Amino acid sequence: MELTTLDEAILDELNEGARTQGFLVDATGEPRYKIHERLKLLTAVGYIENIHESTALYEIRTDPRAASGE
């Protein structure tokens, strides 16, 4: 999966700690639907995990940029 600029911003935030979808919307300034779409994709490929569904709290599982040296 090729990371977008938004994916990188999400991963940067999650590297700092668990974040809710709402927090990521505020932190990135992107619309909720875009954040939701990217979170679903990043979860599907195993980079992040939704650890609390009712609050949409996510944490990083593995940062793909670490493996590629970015």
In a domain, 68, yes or no: no
Total structural domains within the chain:
1
Range of the domain at 20: 5-60
In a domain, 55, yes or no: yes
Which DSSP string corresponds to 4-70? PHHHHHHHHHHHHS-EEHHHHHHHH---HHHHHHHHHHHHHTTSEEEEEGGGTEEEES--HHHHHT-
In a domain, 66, yes or no: no
* Residues 15-70: tens digit of each pLDDT: 999 999 999 999 999 999 999 999 999 999 999 999 999 999 999 999 999 876 55
Sign (positive or negative) of CA dihedral 13, 14, 18, 21: positive
- Domain of 51, CATH number, reads 1.10.10.10
Q: Which pLDDT value is given to residue 41?
A: 98
d(CA 67, CA 50): 22
In a domain, 10, yes or no: yes
Q: Which pLDDT value is given to residue 54?
A: 97
